[in-house]
Structure 1
């Protein structure tokens, strides 16, 4: 790969999430950039993640302030070409302005891989950035300051699919009605003789307990079905390559294509999804993608019998992590008063 970012200094703030932050950094390094990666959150302790996810952020202000004061001090005097903020939950407009000042007014980009309905505070960063991207087409349609850009696959690129021992697999974080939908799909799969492999990740026991108290849907979750340790991205890739189809259940409050959707495209396995938005994309093929009703999921036996329809390589490459980075970093300063 060409060192197309050679000589560019890029500072990235991204939450630690299934190794995606590290894959982003590694790809930027591979593309020639000088990269400094920071966690967007001040801590990944269970109680801190629970507070963030339950949106009681005022409790976090002293910790956030202390964390970013230290980070900004460490960056002071460093000249950066780009500042990339991914899925911000803790960065405030004031923090972002201080980061820009410390880094010599770099080109600043924000990317949301969650809906603004789920992260409403991130809207305050829109006027502070040179570009604000979202994976959610509904969000971009609601505000012309938001640019739509689908997510990416950060998988290794191997095309090995020698065995397909599982018919339907699911790997994801426990939220909303995901558990209920998975169990309904599993029941239907068993009725028609299909095998399943489901992995439910809960960020912490504290988070799960609080959701169990306040959300009746979580009281139906079998505690033994949960893992409080995330599955490494390399293991998810391995499991997906050993699956005939991957189940995707997007959050009810968003229409953006999930990471799992793009990863299924990358590994060449079929996709079962609750998100009808997928039918609007160039890679959609009825033989490869089955759209189900999350409230009354049905499985089509013929879908599993039909062979996977290979896609043009340029269609798949469109969603590579390298192309994603090219898109979000190919911007110029646009705000008044910022030197270029």
Structure 2
């Protein structure tokens, strides 16, 4: 891992993952400055990104990103961009002009099929990584799955929660939530669930649009504040099995999948592509049918099978950073 460098991190404000990346880069004596994606700044800019036309969005994006990058008043050795869907040509060209000796690195943690705007800006980057193997093969990028925060994983915690399901409030995820609740009650399993939705979205969808998804679910099951990383990690430490829902458009391994390694939990997922990745012992994986959510008693009652230490270290955030900055071992192979 690189040391004693000036790094600018541009990332979404998504469940504090940017803080994990920043903290671990600083552990190696790097100076790290952060610009959160423009929609994270305030409600006004969020509305501009959601509803503004291209000209208006580019105006505010240029003003926001360039002003912040220049405010640090330093020469950066690296600029690491996570996702980058709100960066336009003008912003990146200005950054290139202002920091001509800087290496530009982009990491995609969403499929290109869902966020194709990344294809418009890859020409500005020296290295591009993605968590999607198919995107890596198609566009000639480096394949690198996500990471878990190893510092917060407490191995000796008693695992007293049978199933955990944490999700945002979207139709297929809520359909699955109802099936999990029913399954846990029927089989007398202890379930921890947490459904997050933005309060403004909830009020609009429930009371103005009368969305059936929002109207039918018990409001006490819905939370307007996401769990922070410390809270999620404490829950996973106590968990035997994590339930993962992967969007059908996504082939890459979800963050929940990788976190199951760090917290030594078994995993229940709908992502069939996990079989093609050598990251988990197959005894720890169960692929469920969304239409008929059932889990065998053998899997529920089986013990977690330890993964190889090299695999564990590789999928830690330090292993991820080594791949990103040193461009080594991007894909774990047994």
Q: Please indicate, yes or no, whether the TM-score normalized by the shorter chain is above 0.5.
A: yes
In the alignment, the residues of structure 1 paired with residue 52 and residue 218 of structure 2 have an alpha-carbon distance, to the nearest angstrom, of: 26
* SS in structure 1 of the partner of residue 299 of structure 2: helix
Look up the match of 2:34: 37
Unaligned runs of 5+ in 2: 329-334
How has the CA–CA distance of structure 1 residues 253 and 210 changed in structure 2, closer, same or farther, with 3 Å as cutoff?
Answer: farther
Relative to structure 1, is the Cα distance of residues 280 and 47 closer, same or farther in structure 2, using a 3 angstrom cutoff?
farther
Q: Give, in whole Å, the separation in 2 of the partners of 1:327 and 1:241.
A: 26
Deviation at 1:329, TM superposition (A): 1.4
| Residue 101 (structure 1) aligned with residue 97 (structure 2) | yes
Selected match of 1:12 from 9, 24, 37: 9
Residue 242 of structure 2 is matched in structure 1 by: 246
Per-residue CA deviations over 1:240-260 (Å, capped at 9, x if unaligned) read 111111111112221111111
Question: Is 1:206 paired with 2:200?
Answer: yes
Is there any run of 5+ residues in structure 1 with no aligned partner, and where? 333-340
Aligned residues of 1:192 and 1:301 also touching (Cα < 8 A):
no
Matched, 1:237 2:196: no
Question: Within 5 A, what are the aligned runs for 1:60-79?
Answer: 60-75=57-72, 78-79=74-75
C-alpha contact (below 8 Å) 1:41/1:89 kept by paired residues: no
TM-score by length of 2: 0.88
Deviation of the 1:135 alpha carbon: 0.7
For residues 138 and 175 of structure 1, the distance between their equivalents in structure 2, rounded to whole angstroms, comes to 25
Alignment TM-score, normalising by the size of structure 1:
0.87
CA separation of 1:148 and 1:220: change in aligned 2, threshold 3 A: farther
Alignment partner of 1:320 out of 298, 316, 321:
316
Q: Distance in 2 between matches of 1:137 and 1:57?
A: 33
Q: Distance in 1 between matches of 2:5 and 2:28?
A: 10
Q: What is residue 182 of structure 1 aligned with on the other side?
A: 177
In the TM superposition, residue 148 of structure 1 has moved relative to its aligned partner by 1.3
Give the aligned partner of residue 123 of structure 1: 119
Deviates more, 1:55-64 or 1:244-253: 55-64
Cα offset, 1:282, TM superposition: 1.8
Q: In terms of mean alpha carbon deviation, does 168-177 or 304-313 score higher?
A: 168-177
SS at match of 1:35: strand
- Which one of 151, 165, 171 corresponds to residue 170 of structure 1? 165
Alpha-carbon distance in 2 for matches of 1:117, 1:57: 22
Task: Name the counterpart of 2:331.
Answer: none
Contact 1:189 1:195 in 2 (8 A): yes
Secondary structure at the residue paired with 1:231? coil
C-alpha distance in structure 1 between counterparts of 2:250 and 2:92, whole Å: 26
The 5-angstrom pairing of residues 20-31 of structure 1 reads 20-31=17-28
> Is the contact made by 1:177 and 1:217 (CA closer than 8 Å) also made in structure 2?
no
Number of positions where the alignment pairs a residue of Structure 1 with one of Structure 2: 325
Per-residue deviation at 1:142? Answer: 2.6
Residue in 1 aligned with 2:187?
Answer: 192
Q: Which has the higher helix share?
A: 2
